[in-house]
A and B are shown apart, each in its own frame.
Chain A
Amino acid sequence: MKKSSLGAAAVVLLLAAAAYAAFFIAPTDSRQGVIYRIIFLHVPSAETGLVSFFICFVANVAYVLKRQPKWDWMGIAAAEVGLAFTTVCLITGPIWAKPVWGIYWTWDARLTSTAVLWLLYVAYLLLRTLIEEPDRRALLSALFGIFAFIDVPLVFGSIRWWRTQHPQPVIMGGPGSGLDPVMRAVLFFCWVPMLALMVLLMQSRYRLEAMRGDLDIVRRESEAA
Protein backbone atom coordinates (compact mmCIF):
# COMPACT_ATOMS: atom_id res chain seq x y z
CA MET A 1 0.00 0.00 0.00
CA LYS A 2 1.32 3.44 -0.91
CA LYS A 3 2.31 5.85 1.89
CA SER A 4 -0.24 8.47 0.71
CA SER A 5 -3.06 5.87 0.76
CA LEU A 6 -2.09 4.91 4.31
CA GLY A 7 -2.18 8.59 5.29
CA ALA A 8 -5.61 9.04 3.70
CA ALA A 9 -6.92 5.91 5.48
CA ALA A 10 -5.60 7.21 8.83
CA VAL A 11 -7.32 10.57 8.27
CA VAL A 12 -10.63 8.85 7.40
CA LEU A 13 -10.39 6.76 10.60
CA LEU A 14 -9.63 9.87 12.67
CA LEU A 15 -12.60 11.72 11.11
CA ALA A 16 -14.87 8.77 11.94
CA ALA A 17 -13.56 8.72 15.53
CA ALA A 18 -14.16 12.48 15.82
CA ALA A 19 -17.75 12.10 14.55
CA TYR A 20 -18.31 9.29 17.08
CA ALA A 21 -16.99 11.50 19.90
CA ALA A 22 -19.12 14.45 18.73
CA PHE A 23 -22.33 12.39 18.61
CA PHE A 24 -21.87 9.90 21.46
CA ILE A 25 -19.28 11.16 23.97
CA ALA A 26 -20.02 14.91 24.20
CA PRO A 27 -23.09 15.60 26.36
CA THR A 28 -26.14 17.30 24.85
CA ASP A 29 -26.31 21.05 25.49
CA SER A 30 -29.15 21.91 27.89
CA ARG A 31 -30.17 25.07 25.99
CA GLN A 32 -29.45 24.33 22.31
CA GLY A 33 -30.03 20.57 22.29
CA VAL A 34 -28.54 18.41 19.51
CA ILE A 35 -27.87 21.24 17.04
CA TYR A 36 -24.93 22.51 19.13
CA ARG A 37 -23.00 19.37 18.03
CA ILE A 38 -22.18 21.25 14.83
CA ILE A 39 -19.60 23.04 17.00
CA PHE A 40 -17.35 19.95 16.66
CA LEU A 41 -17.26 20.48 12.91
CA HIS A 42 -17.70 24.24 12.58
CA VAL A 43 -15.03 25.46 15.04
CA PRO A 44 -12.25 23.00 14.00
CA SER A 45 -12.82 23.74 10.30
CA ALA A 46 -12.76 27.50 10.97
CA GLU A 47 -9.54 27.26 13.04
CA THR A 48 -7.90 24.92 10.50
CA GLY A 49 -8.76 27.38 7.74
CA LEU A 50 -7.00 30.15 9.69
CA VAL A 51 -3.96 27.89 10.24
CA SER A 52 -3.83 27.19 6.47
CA PHE A 53 -3.95 30.92 5.69
CA PHE A 54 -1.15 31.51 8.20
CA ILE A 55 0.96 28.88 6.37
CA CYS A 56 0.07 30.65 3.10
CA PHE A 57 1.23 33.96 4.60
CA VAL A 58 4.56 32.45 5.75
CA ALA A 59 5.07 30.92 2.29
CA ASN A 60 4.23 34.25 0.60
CA VAL A 61 6.72 36.16 2.76
CA ALA A 62 9.36 33.46 2.13
CA TYR A 63 8.76 33.71 -1.64
CA VAL A 64 9.16 37.49 -1.65
CA LEU A 65 12.44 37.17 0.29
CA LYS A 66 13.94 34.10 -1.42
CA ARG A 67 12.18 33.81 -4.81
CA GLN A 68 12.26 30.00 -4.72
CA PRO A 69 9.36 28.24 -6.55
CA LYS A 70 8.76 25.86 -3.62
CA TRP A 71 7.39 28.76 -1.55
CA ASP A 72 5.02 29.69 -4.35
CA TRP A 73 3.81 26.08 -4.52
CA MET A 74 3.35 26.03 -0.74
CA GLY A 75 1.41 29.32 -0.91
CA ILE A 76 -1.06 28.13 -3.52
CA ALA A 77 -1.50 24.77 -1.74
CA ALA A 78 -2.22 26.44 1.61
CA ALA A 79 -4.57 29.04 0.07
CA GLU A 80 -6.67 26.42 -1.71
CA VAL A 81 -6.86 24.14 1.34
CA GLY A 82 -7.69 27.09 3.61
CA LEU A 83 -10.48 28.02 1.23
CA ALA A 84 -11.92 24.48 1.43
CA PHE A 85 -11.98 24.65 5.26
CA THR A 86 -13.43 28.18 5.28
CA THR A 87 -16.12 27.05 2.82
CA VAL A 88 -17.11 24.30 5.28
CA CYS A 89 -17.14 26.87 8.10
CA LEU A 90 -19.38 29.20 6.06
CA ILE A 91 -21.80 26.37 5.21
CA THR A 92 -22.04 24.79 8.68
CA GLY A 93 -22.41 28.17 10.44
CA PRO A 94 -25.78 29.07 8.86
CA ILE A 95 -27.07 25.49 9.38
CA TRP A 96 -26.35 25.98 13.09
CA ALA A 97 -27.56 29.60 13.16
CA LYS A 98 -31.06 29.06 11.74
CA PRO A 99 -32.55 27.03 14.65
CA VAL A 100 -30.63 29.03 17.30
CA TRP A 101 -30.84 32.64 16.02
CA GLY A 102 -33.86 32.24 13.74
CA ILE A 103 -31.82 33.49 10.77
CA TYR A 104 -29.20 31.93 8.50
CA TRP A 105 -27.01 34.99 8.20
CA THR A 106 -26.40 38.44 9.65
CA TRP A 107 -23.77 41.00 8.73
CA ASP A 108 -22.00 41.05 12.11
CA ALA A 109 -18.26 41.49 12.51
CA ARG A 110 -17.34 37.77 12.69
CA LEU A 111 -19.54 36.60 9.83
CA THR A 112 -18.67 39.54 7.58
CA SER A 113 -14.91 39.34 8.18
CA THR A 114 -15.04 35.58 7.45
CA ALA A 115 -16.99 36.14 4.23
CA VAL A 116 -14.44 38.80 3.22
CA LEU A 117 -11.62 36.35 4.02
CA TRP A 118 -13.21 33.75 1.73
CA LEU A 119 -13.56 36.32 -1.07
CA LEU A 120 -9.96 37.52 -0.62
CA TYR A 121 -8.55 34.01 -1.11
CA VAL A 122 -10.87 33.37 -4.07
CA ALA A 123 -9.38 36.56 -5.53
CA TYR A 124 -5.87 35.20 -4.75
CA LEU A 125 -6.64 32.07 -6.79
CA LEU A 126 -8.26 34.06 -9.61
CA LEU A 127 -5.27 36.41 -9.78
CA ARG A 128 -3.01 33.42 -10.47
CA THR A 129 -5.09 32.43 -13.50
CA LEU A 130 -4.72 35.92 -15.03
CA ILE A 131 -0.90 36.06 -15.18
CA GLU A 132 0.96 33.84 -17.67
CA GLU A 133 4.60 34.49 -16.75
CA PRO A 134 5.45 32.15 -13.79
CA ASP A 135 7.86 34.46 -11.84
CA ARG A 136 5.57 37.48 -12.16
CA ARG A 137 2.54 35.38 -11.21
CA ALA A 138 4.33 34.03 -8.14
CA LEU A 139 5.51 37.47 -6.98
CA LEU A 140 2.20 39.29 -7.50
CA SER A 141 0.17 36.54 -5.86
CA ALA A 142 2.62 36.42 -2.92
CA LEU A 143 2.20 40.19 -2.44
CA PHE A 144 -1.58 39.85 -2.68
CA GLY A 145 -1.49 36.90 -0.24
CA ILE A 146 0.39 39.03 2.31
CA PHE A 147 -2.27 41.72 1.93
CA ALA A 148 -5.13 39.18 2.22
CA PHE A 149 -3.70 37.83 5.48
CA ILE A 150 -4.50 41.18 7.18
CA ASP A 151 -8.09 39.89 7.50
CA VAL A 152 -7.05 36.81 9.53
CA PRO A 153 -6.35 38.69 12.82
CA LEU A 154 -9.62 40.61 12.20
CA VAL A 155 -11.56 37.33 11.96
CA PHE A 156 -9.85 36.02 15.11
CA GLY A 157 -10.33 39.22 17.09
CA SER A 158 -13.80 40.21 15.84
CA ILE A 159 -15.70 38.36 18.61
CA ARG A 160 -13.25 39.67 21.23
CA TRP A 161 -13.23 43.34 20.16
CA TRP A 162 -16.88 43.90 19.18
CA ARG A 163 -20.32 42.82 20.40
CA THR A 164 -21.56 40.39 17.78
CA GLN A 165 -24.51 38.13 17.06
CA HIS A 166 -21.91 35.36 16.81
CA PRO A 167 -21.16 33.87 20.27
CA GLN A 168 -18.15 35.07 22.24
CA PRO A 169 -15.08 32.78 22.17
CA VAL A 170 -15.24 29.44 24.00
CA ILE A 171 -11.47 28.93 23.70
CA MET A 172 -9.00 31.60 24.91
CA GLY A 173 -11.99 33.80 25.72
CA GLY A 174 -10.95 35.03 29.15
CA PRO A 175 -12.81 34.81 32.48
CA GLY A 176 -16.43 33.66 32.42
CA SER A 177 -16.09 31.97 29.01
CA GLY A 178 -15.50 28.34 28.21
CA LEU A 179 -17.07 24.95 27.72
CA ASP A 180 -17.99 21.95 29.82
CA PRO A 181 -14.71 19.94 30.29
CA VAL A 182 -15.98 16.93 28.27
CA MET A 183 -17.23 19.18 25.46
CA ARG A 184 -13.89 20.99 25.49
CA ALA A 185 -11.90 17.71 25.31
CA VAL A 186 -14.08 16.47 22.43
CA LEU A 187 -13.66 19.80 20.63
CA PHE A 188 -9.86 19.56 20.82
CA PHE A 189 -10.03 15.88 19.78
CA CYS A 190 -12.15 16.85 16.74
CA TRP A 191 -9.53 19.41 15.73
CA VAL A 192 -6.83 16.69 15.34
CA PRO A 193 -8.39 14.99 12.25
CA MET A 194 -9.02 18.41 10.69
CA LEU A 195 -5.33 19.30 11.06
CA ALA A 196 -4.34 15.86 9.72
CA LEU A 197 -6.70 16.38 6.76
CA MET A 198 -5.16 19.81 6.18
CA VAL A 199 -1.66 18.26 6.01
CA LEU A 200 -2.86 15.50 3.67
CA LEU A 201 -4.64 17.91 1.31
CA MET A 202 -1.77 20.37 1.37
CA GLN A 203 0.78 17.65 0.52
CA SER A 204 -1.33 16.49 -2.44
CA ARG A 205 -1.84 20.03 -3.69
CA TYR A 206 1.87 20.88 -3.25
CA ARG A 207 2.88 17.80 -5.29
CA LEU A 208 0.44 18.85 -8.01
CA GLU A 209 1.98 22.33 -8.19
CA ALA A 210 5.52 20.89 -8.19
CA MET A 211 4.53 18.66 -11.10
CA ARG A 212 3.15 21.72 -12.91
CA GLY A 213 6.56 23.38 -12.40
CA ASP A 214 8.29 20.33 -13.95
CA LEU A 215 5.84 20.40 -16.84
CA ASP A 216 6.64 24.07 -17.53
CA ILE A 217 10.36 23.20 -17.72
CA VAL A 218 9.78 20.24 -20.06
CA ARG A 219 7.45 22.37 -22.22
CA ARG A 220 10.12 25.05 -22.57
CA GLU A 221 12.69 22.37 -23.49
CA SER A 222 10.37 20.86 -26.10
CA GLU A 223 9.69 24.32 -27.59
CA ALA A 224 13.43 25.05 -27.74
CA ALA A 225 14.19 21.65 -29.33
Chain B
Amino acid sequence: MKNLNSVFAAYLIAWGVFFTYYVTVARRAAALKEELERLKNSLNRGK
Protein backbone atom coordinates (compact mmCIF):
# COMPACT_ATOMS: atom_id res chain seq x y z
CA MET B 1 0.00 0.00 0.00
CA LYS B 2 2.64 2.46 -1.14
CA ASN B 3 1.63 6.16 -0.82
CA LEU B 4 -1.43 5.42 1.36
CA ASN B 5 -0.13 7.96 3.89
CA SER B 6 -0.12 10.64 1.17
CA VAL B 7 -3.75 9.87 0.30
CA PHE B 8 -4.76 10.09 3.99
CA ALA B 9 -2.80 13.34 4.31
CA ALA B 10 -4.62 14.81 1.29
CA TYR B 11 -8.02 13.92 2.79
CA LEU B 12 -7.12 15.25 6.24
CA ILE B 13 -5.78 18.53 4.82
CA ALA B 14 -8.84 19.00 2.59
CA TRP B 15 -11.32 18.35 5.40
CA GLY B 16 -9.21 20.58 7.65
CA VAL B 17 -9.43 23.46 5.15
CA PHE B 18 -13.22 23.15 4.83
CA PHE B 19 -13.78 22.72 8.59
CA THR B 20 -11.56 25.70 9.44
CA TYR B 21 -13.35 27.87 6.87
CA TYR B 22 -16.80 26.82 8.20
CA VAL B 23 -15.76 27.59 11.80
CA THR B 24 -14.26 30.94 10.74
CA VAL B 25 -17.51 31.98 9.03
CA ALA B 26 -19.57 30.84 12.05
CA ARG B 27 -17.34 32.82 14.44
CA ARG B 28 -17.48 35.95 12.29
CA ALA B 29 -21.28 35.61 12.15
CA ALA B 30 -21.54 35.21 15.94
CA ALA B 31 -19.36 38.31 16.51
CA LEU B 32 -21.43 40.36 14.03
CA LYS B 33 -24.70 39.21 15.59
CA GLU B 34 -23.47 40.30 19.00
CA GLU B 35 -22.43 43.71 17.69
CA LEU B 36 -25.74 44.13 15.86
CA GLU B 37 -27.70 43.35 19.05
CA ARG B 38 -25.54 45.73 21.08
CA LEU B 39 -26.05 48.56 18.57
CA LYS B 40 -29.80 47.93 18.34
CA ASN B 41 -30.09 47.97 22.14
CA SER B 42 -28.12 51.21 22.44
CA LEU B 43 -30.32 52.76 19.73
CA ASN B 44 -33.49 51.67 21.52
CA ARG B 45 -32.20 53.07 24.81
CA GLY B 46 -31.51 56.39 23.08
CA LYS B 47 -35.11 56.69 21.77
Residue pair B17, A87 in contact (C-beta under 8 Å): yes
Shortest CB distance A9–B (Å): 13
Residues of B within 8 A of A197 (CB): 18
Interface of B is mostly: helix
Q: Mask for A185-225, Cβ within 8 A of B = 1, else 0?
A: 00000000000010011001101100110110011011001
Shortest CB distance A163–B (Å): 26
Residue pair A211, B25 in contact (C-beta under 8 Å): no
Count residues of B near A (Cβ-Cβ below 8 Å).
Answer: 30
Does A37 lie at the interface of the complex (its beta carbon under 8 Å from any beta carbon of B)? yes
Q: Which listed residue, B18, B32, B42, touches A215 by the CB 8 Å rule? A: B32
Interface of A is mostly: helix
Residues of A within 8 A of B29 (CB): 204, 207-208, 211
Shortest CB distance B41–A (Å): 10
Interface residues of A (CB under 8 A from B): 8, 15, 19, 33-35, 37-38, 41-42, 45, 80-81, 84, 87-88, 91-92, 95-96, 98-99, 197, 200-201, 204-205, 207-208, 211-212, 214-215, 218-219, 221-222, 225
Residues of A within 8 A of B14 (CB): 41, 45, 88, 91-92
Residue pair A215, B35 in contact (C-beta under 8 Å): yes
Residue pair B11, A204 in contact (C-beta under 8 Å): no
